[in-house]
């Protein structure tokens, strides 16, 4: 009946707590050095950087609103982010967009809480975080993750005097949203088709690997889009038979790495490389796919990567980056927030595509694709040709015949899938290796 | 050191009551001052006015009814866990498996909710709490049997079972219990609204949670300090072999203490499901077991002190949510303060020990 000393127990517990604390940081670490010039904002290294300093820093870029500002009430808008603001992906794109909107909306002030997820903030629920933003005066709250669907709805019902935007959600579409809640999403399907095409153009082995987050209709339709883009370019520009293209997806279980809960994306990426895949296409919020491809490339292997979400994502491995499909939320956020400031808020489900005149126009295009340094000029030209076909509508990749993994028909021969069918994609397509979770 | 503490309570309850009180107070005040100094240094190094931070940490949770409700909903499972841990602490056991017992409680609580969603909610809640308590208890008895039967130290048995428990939770969330059409480690689908524990107005405060926590704590206090059973458990904790020779069934008492702790942890897990998250998530315990261990390191085997200390710890955590927004510092400073408190308590206890010996 020995008694282990209390000190030992204390050490163990502190160790466990430390482990817990450390465990949550890696999500931010691989991306800790975003290119600051991208957002035009000051470098925001600490992810919990206060909202105020950044607000002050961007104010000088605003037109002097001295005549109106003192009389007008300040319009505070808040954002709840699922990951850190500097993840080089999904969350950074949202953060940059909010700063973009703030700079263009005189009298507005942006506040936020990031890393709202059970690993980083175990005792904080979305509704609670939203409550804090409203306590700080927020009149408009943007939530940026599919995981926030229920919490955003609850908060919107509890605060009918505050406007809510749930990015990537479809509560308005399904009719379950209160009237002060709106939905916004970009048609990343196009960006993913470009990503798949770039991968197929550059791949030697014809073995493409997709680093998937969790499985839901959104992630399934994005994997399908990537595959369709890859297959088209493999067949039509590379003149290879479709069945010689390997396309595999591995899901880690969440939008980013949570040690002990998700698969480790770094590990998955190295496995991809060891299995002989020569392009890693990322579908997760963070940049492990690119980082690992970069390492393997430095070690003498030929591996390319296509990151995701954020326009500057290639910065973490320029030479192996084939390009990045990204969201540009700023322009539409600015419009929606501006309308709300003037009392014109509309609850709607929006799914906005690229500005086909210039998909990389920062002020008009919701979806863009920036080519990476790794893409050869010849392949770049072929990709441009592919994009032009998407742009003029002569090519719709969701045209039948398309079958699901289990052999059932998704789109019959000669027909075209409508928006709802694509939005609610229930399965991966035939030809893709990986779990569908129908 | 805890041998002398418990011994003092056993043998000299009346004679030294005043001295004990002064001792208790010194033990609470000194660590608090020590922790404040430590945390202040941390705050100063990141250039934050410590008074502002303390105002938020200490009083932030009481600034609005919503925050107060959130504090209560965090303190309730914490009280259950820490209360349970005073049982195992008294028995000289270190139940580091409490996290896993919370998780198993939550999993078990989900079973009736999934099987019989059509039962009247009050009945379903009762079944769910019973399942949760049983789940936590079974998990604790597993650790106890590894200790008592196979001689595996309960610390390591508990830690191992923690991993196993979260593995089971993850498997269920990504597998059989996943949301229709998706597979995400973010959690199972939300429970139907009518199955959520009823709350006060628009707050997230479910009055049943603190009621269950406080009643449980009173029972723990009663059995530990007013019943022969508690005396025997303490005796086992002091010296199991000696107690055994004097006719106390030591093995049985240890197993019972573990079972009691697991039961309370299971109730905490059920509260997390029914009252807080309304779904099963991988991190369903949200660390209340670990924080409960910190609380017990401060209060040792004295259940009365669990209430104030657990409330203070919950206050820090809920208050800290405001830190990044108002002061621009990470909310993990609450963890620093909690850790510093425990550290300072251990140090001051160690110093007193040395003085007494000298």
Task: Give the model confidence (pLDDT) of A247-260 as tens digits.
Answer: 999 999 999 999 98
Q: How many CA atoms lie within 13 A of B131 on its CB side?
A: 22
- The pLDDT assigned to B212 comes to 97
Mutate to test the interface with A, among B161, B241, B283 (most CBs of A within 10 A): B283
Residues A402 and A299 in one domain: yes
State phi, psi for B257 to the nearest 5 degrees. Answer: -60, -45
Q: Is the minimum CB–CB distance between B249 and chain A shorter than 8 Å?
A: no
Residues of B in contact with A10 (CB under 8 A): 297, 342-343, 346
The reply to whether residue B185 touches residue A438, judged by beta carbons under 8 angstroms, is: no
pLDDT at A55: 37
Give the confidence band of A16 by pLDDT, cuts at 50, 70, 90.
low
Binned at pLDDT 50, 70 and 90, residue A51 comes out as very low
Residue A189 pLDDT exceeds 50: yes
For the question of whether the overall pTM of this predicted structure is more than 0.90, the answer is no
Name the closest residue on chain B to residue A424, using Cα atoms: B181
B316 interaction partners in chain A (CB closer than 8 Å): none
Residue A85 CB partners (closer than 8 Å, separation 6+):
A44, A47, A49, A91, A92, A95, A112, A114
What is the per-residue pLDDT for B12? 46
pLDDT 10s digits, A199-249: 999 999 999 999 999 999 999 999 999 999 999 999 999 999 999 999 999
Write out chain B residues lying below 8 Å of A53, CB-based.
328
**A157 and A122 within one domain:** yes
Does residue A366 belong to any structural domain of this protein? no
Note whether residue A385 is domain-resident.
Answer: yes
Q: Are residues A346 and A275 in the same domain?
A: no
Angle between helices B65-90 and B306-320 (to 10 degrees): 140
| A121 in the same domain as A133 | yes
Minimal CA separation from B286 to chain A, in Å: 5
Q: Is the predicted pLDDT of residue A404 greater than 80, yes or no?
A: yes
Instruction: Supply A124's token pair.
Output: 């904080």
Residues of A with Cβ-Cβ distance to B1 under 8 angstroms: 6
- Asked if B45 is an interface residue toward chain A (Cβ–Cβ < 8 A), one would say no
Measure the CA–CA gap between A85 and A49, rounded to whole angstroms: 9
Of A3, A124, A426, nearest to B92 by CB-CB distance is A3
- Both A112 and A160 in one domain: the answer is yes
Task: Determine the average pLDDT of the residues in A301-312.
Answer: 95
Cβ-Cβ contacts under 8 Å, A122 against chain B? 283, 286-287
Q: Say if residue A252 is in the same domain as residue A389.
A: yes
> Which residues of chain A have a CB within 8 Å of the CB of B240?
1
Contact B182 A214 (CB under 8 A): yes
- Test B318 with A123 for CB contact under 8 angstroms: yes
Question: Does residue A343 sit in the same domain as residue A236?
Answer: no
User: Which has more confidence, B121 or A48?
Assistant: B121
Same domain as A316, residue A335: no
Interface check for B166 against chain A (CB to CB < 8 A): the answer is yes
Contacts of A370 (CB under 8 A, 6+ apart): A311, A314, A323, A324, A326, A360
Instruction: Confirm whether A38 is domain-assigned.
Output: no
- Tokens standing for A205? 């082995």
CB contact under 8 A, A6 and B326: no
- The whole-number pLDDT of residue B345 equals 79
Q: Is residue A122 part of a domain?
A: yes
Beta carbons within 8 Å of A224's beta carbon, 6+ residues apart: A425, A428, A429, A432
Q: Do B182 and A215 touch (CB under 8 A)?
A: yes
Same-domain status, A402 and A343: no
Q: How far apart are CA B99 and CA B81, in angstroms?
A: 9
pLDDT in tens, chain B (358 residues): 344 444 444 444 445 577 777 776 776 677 778 888 888 888 888 888 888 888 888 888 898 999 999 999 999 999 999 999 999 999 999 999 999 999 999 999 999 999 999 999 999 999 999 999 999 999 999 999 999 889 899 999 999 999 999 999 999 999 999 998 889 988 999 999 999 999 998 889 999 999 999 999 999 999 999 999 999 999 999 988 898 888 899 999 999 999 999 999 999 999 999 999 999 999 999 999 999 999 998 888 889 999 999 999 999 989 888 888 888 777 778 888 888 888 887 887 777 777 776 6
Which residue ranges form the domains of chain B, and what is each CATH number? Answer: 2-357 (1.10.3470)
Residue from the list A14, A123, A261 with its beta carbon closest to the beta carbon of B74: A123
Chain B CB contacts of A123 under 8 Å are 74, 286-287, 317-318
Q: How far apart are CA A397 and CA B110, in angstroms?
A: 43
What is the extent of the structural domain holding A294? 189-326+372-423
CB contact under 8 A, A1 and B343: no
Inside any domain, residue A283: yes
Q: Which residues of A22-50 are buried (b: 16+ CB within 10 A; e: fewer)?
A: ebbebbbebbeebeeeebebeebebbbbb
Q: Are strands A75-80 and A138-143 parallel, antiparallel or unpaired?
A: parallel
Per the structure, the count of domains in chain A is 2
Give the one of B3, B185, B332 whose C-beta lies nearest to A254's C-beta.
B185
Residue A415, in any domain of the structure: yes
Amino acid B299: pLDDT = 86
Residue A176: CATH number of its domain:
3.40.50.2300
Whether A235 is in a domain gets the answer yes
Residue B287 to residue A123, Cβ atoms within 8 A: yes
Confidence label for A10 from pLDDT (cuts 50, 70 and 90): low
pLDDT at B108: 98
Check B328 against A21: CB less than 8 A apart: no
Q: What is the DSSP letter of B189?
A: P
Cβ–Cβ gap A49/B328 under 8 Å: yes
Q: What is the ipTM of this complex?
A: 0.82
Are the beta carbons of B183 and A215 separated by less than 8 Å?
A: yes
CB–CB of A10 and B281 under 8 A?
A: no
Distance of residue A284 Cα from the nearest chain B Cα, in angstroms: 13
A6:B346 CB<8 A: yes
Q: Which of A107-111, A169-173, A355-359, B32-36 has the lowest mean pLDDT?
A: B32-36
Beta-carbon contacts below 8 Å between A and B: 143
CB contacts of A214 in chain B (<8 Å) are 182-186
- Partner A contacted by B167 (CB < 8 A): no
Looking at the structure, do residues A301 and A162 belong to the same domain, yes or no?
no
- Residue A98 covered by a domain: yes
pLDDT exceeds 60 at position A182: yes
So what's the pLDDT on residue B335? 81
List all residues of chain B from 314 to 333 with a beta carbon under 8 Å from chain A.
317-318, 321-322, 324-332
3-state secondary structure at position B72: helix
The per-residue pLDDT for A111 is 94
Neighbours of A279 (CB within 10 A): 32
pLDDT surpasses 50 at A65: no
Per residue in A405-436, pLDDT (tens digit) is 999 999 999 999 999 999 999 999 999 999 99
Helix runs in chain B, H state only: 2-11, 17-45, 50-59, 65-90, 98-115, 121-150, 154-174, 208-225, 228-238, 240-245, 250-271, 288-299, 306-320, 323-326, 333-357
Tell me, yes or no, whether A102 and A171 share the same domain: yes
- pLDDT on residue B58: 87
Q: Same domain, yes or no, for A380 and A314? A: yes
| Paired sense of beta strands A349-352 and A323-327, if any | unpaired
Query: Nearest CA of chain B to the CA of A1: how many Å?
Result: 6
């Amino acid at each position: 009946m020995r008694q282990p000393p209390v000190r030992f127990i204390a050490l163990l517990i502190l160790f466990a707590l430390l482990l817990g604390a450390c465990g949550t940081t890696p999500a931010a670490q691989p991306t800790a050095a975003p290119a600051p010039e991208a957002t035009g904002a000051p470098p925001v290294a600490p992810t919990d950087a206060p909202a105020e300093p950044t607000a002050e820093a961007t104010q000088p870029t605003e037109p002097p609103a001295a005549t109106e500002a003192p009389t007008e009430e300040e319009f505070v808008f808040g954002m709840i982010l699922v990951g850190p603001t500097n993840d080089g992906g999904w969350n950074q794109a949202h953060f940059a967009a909010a700063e973009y909107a703030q700079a263009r909306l005189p009298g507005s002030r942006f506040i936020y809480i990031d890393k709202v997820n059970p690993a980083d903030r175990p005792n904080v629920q979305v509704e609670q975080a939203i409550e804090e933003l409203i306590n700080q005066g927020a009149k408009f709250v943007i939530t940026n993750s599919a995981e926030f669907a229920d919490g955003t709805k609850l908060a919107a019902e509890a605060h009918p005097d505050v406007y809510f935007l749930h990015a990537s959600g479809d509560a308005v579409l399904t009719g379950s949203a209160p009237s002060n809640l709106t939905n916004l999403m970009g048609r990343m399907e196009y960006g993913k088709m470009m990503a798949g095409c770039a991968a197929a153009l550059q791949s030697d082995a014809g073995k493409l690997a997709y680093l998937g987050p969790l499985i839901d209709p959104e992630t399934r339709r994005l994997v399908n889009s990537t595959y369709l883009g890859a297959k088209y370019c493999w067949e039509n520009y590379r003149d290879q038979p479709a069945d010689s293209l390997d396309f595999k997806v591995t899901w880690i279980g969440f939008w980013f790495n949570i040690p002990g809960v998700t698969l480790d994306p770094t590990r998955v990426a190295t496995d991809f490389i060891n299995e002989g895949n020569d392009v890693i296409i990322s579908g997760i919020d963070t940049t492990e796919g690119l980082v690992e491809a970069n390492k393997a490339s430095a070690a003498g292997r030929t591996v390319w990567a296509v990151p995701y979400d954020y326009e500057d994502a290639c910065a973490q491995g320029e030479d192996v980056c084939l390009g990045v499909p990204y969201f540009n939320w700023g322009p539409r956020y600015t419009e929606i927030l501006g309308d709300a400031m003037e009392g014109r808020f509309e609850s709607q489900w929006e799914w906005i595509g690229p500005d086909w005149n210039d998909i990389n126009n920062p002020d008009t295009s919701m979806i863009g694709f920036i080519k990476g340094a790794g893409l050869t000029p010849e392949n770049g030209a072929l990709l441009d040709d592919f994009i032009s076909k998407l742009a003029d509508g002569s090519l719709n990749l969701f045209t039948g015949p398309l079958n699901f993994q289990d052999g059932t028909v998704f789109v019959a021969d000669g027909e075209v899938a409508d928006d709802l069918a694509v939005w609610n994609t229930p399965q991966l397509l035939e030809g893709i290796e990986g779990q569908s979770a129908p | 050191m805890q041998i002398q503490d418990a011994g003092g309570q056993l043998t000299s309850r009346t004679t030294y009551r005043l001295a004990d009180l002064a001792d208790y107070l010194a033990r609470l005040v000194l660590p608090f001052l020590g922790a404040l100094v430590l945390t202040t240094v941390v705050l100063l190094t990141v250039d934050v006015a410590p008074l502002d931070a303390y105002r938020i940490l200490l009083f932030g949770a009481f600034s609005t009814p919503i925050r107060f409700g959130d504090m209560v909903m965090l303190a309730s499972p914490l009280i259950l866990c820490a209360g349970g841990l005073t049982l195992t602490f008294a028995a000289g056991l270190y139940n580091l498996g409490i996290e896993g017992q919370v998780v198993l409680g939550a999993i078990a609580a989900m079973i009736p909710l999934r099987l019989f969603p059509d039962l009247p909610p009050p009945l379903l809640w009762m079944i769910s709490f019973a399942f949760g308590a049983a789940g936590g208890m079974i998990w604790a008895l597993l650790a106890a049997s590894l200790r008592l039967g196979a001689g595996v130290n309960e610390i390591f048995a508990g830690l191992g079972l923690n991993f196993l428990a979260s593995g089971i939770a993850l498997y269920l969330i990504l597998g059989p219990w996943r949301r229709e059409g998706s597979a995400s480690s973010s959690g199972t689908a939300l429970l139907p609204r009518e199955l959520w524990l009823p709350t006060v107005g628009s707050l997230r405060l479910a009055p049943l949670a603190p009621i269950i926590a406080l009643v449980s704590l009173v029972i723990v206090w009663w059995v530990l300090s007013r019943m022969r059973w508690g005396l025997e458990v303490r005796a086992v904790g002091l010296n199991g072999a000696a107690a055994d020779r004097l006719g106390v069934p030591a093995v049985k008492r240890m197993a019972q203490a573990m079972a009691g702790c697991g039961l309370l942890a299971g109730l905490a897990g059920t509260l997390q499901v029914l009252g807080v998250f309304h779904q099963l998530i991988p991190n369903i315990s949200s660390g209340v077991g670990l924080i409960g261990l910190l609380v017990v390191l401060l209060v040792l085997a004295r259940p009365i002190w669990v209430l104030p200390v657990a409330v203070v710890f919950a206050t820090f955590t809920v208050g800290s949510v405001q830190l990044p927004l108002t002061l621009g510092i990470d909310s993990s400073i609450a963890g620093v303060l909690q850790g510093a408190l425990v550290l300072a308590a251990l140090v001051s206890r160690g110093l007193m020990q040395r003085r007494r010996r000298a």
